[in-house]
Structure 1
């Protein structure tokens, strides 16, 4: 048992980031970078590109990320790195409302999983068969 375990509150909530801090605690840019696997310079750049991402800044310009800021960083990371949005597209999606972005993600997946039946492929296939038959007849006649 480490000395940290001895002084930890028995009913302290576990941190979502695994750093031992209270989930509501402020985190430095280094802690956010390590917890989410996003480099610090990327986080600083995202602050410039996404006006809604504004961590607290204390004396000397040190950044402190609130839980809402961390959730926003996770959403930006998901949109840009997993769902293929450009930074501009992610910014527009987030300006439309974070709830809308989160609500649209499953809907897009369900639409892709269950596409509406279409007669276009059957029509195209029938057209290709007709072209093939015309070519076969032309070769036999030649």
Structure 2
């Protein structure tokens, strides 16, 4: 997360100008992203003045990384964020469920053949890459 040099507490609200300056993103781009990303909803006070919470700043940083560093389109970045938010909700639901009802994965396919995992180096590599992407997305949302 971005460190602000304004002397405010890390949990303080930031104006659009402060966020713009700290992240190097023009204010009109931030306002546009608010329209394109439903998850980005800074507080609006009288006169329409925007105040970004730390979670909003983290989301802006994630959007900036997805769009400008990783090359996602705005729709693609929104899909990634929506999927990550949904998996976060699912994770919270799973934590509330009883651990007594865990289902063990089958060790063989219905045809009696061993599972593919561990038998195919290319598949193992693809699974490892997907797990790394999932971990990065989770880390980005846990900021």
Q: What TM-score, normalized to structure 1?
A: 0.59
1:64 alignment partner, SS class: strand
- The answer on whether the counterparts of 1:28 and 1:63 sit within 8 Å (CA) in structure 2 is yes
Paired residue for 1:53?
40
Matched positions, count: 92
**Change in CA separation of 1:18 and 1:99 when aligned onto 2, cut-off 3 Å:** farther
User: Tell me, which stretches of 5 or more residues in structure 2 are unaligned?
Assistant: 88-128, 134-143
2:25 maps to 38
Q: Residues 1-142 of structure 1 correspond to what in structure 2 (within 5 A)?
A: 16-98=3-85, 107-108=132-133
> Max radius of gyration: which structure?
1
Post-superposition shift, 1:20? 1.7
Q: Answer yes or no: is the 8 Å Cα contact 1:19–1:35 preserved in 2.
A: no
Give the 3 Å change call, closer, same or farther, for CA 58–93 of structure 1 in structure 2: same
For structure 1, the 5+ residue unaligned runs are 1-14, 109-142
Superimposed CA distance per residue, residues 80-124 of structure 1 (whole angstroms, 9 cap, x where no aligned partner) = 000010000000000012596xxx88825xxxxxxxxxxxxxxxx
* Alignment deviations for residues 51-92 of structure 1 (CA, whole Å, 9 cap, x no partner): 000000000000000000000000000000000100000000
RMSD over equivalenced CA pairs, Å: 2.4
Structure 1 segments of 4+ aligned residues over 6 angstroms from their partners: none
State the distance in 2 between where 1:59 and 1:34 align.
Answer: 22
Alignment TM-score, normalising by the size of structure 2? 0.59
Q: Tell me, in whole angstroms, the C-alpha distance in 2 between the residues paired with 1:56 and 1:34.
A: 18
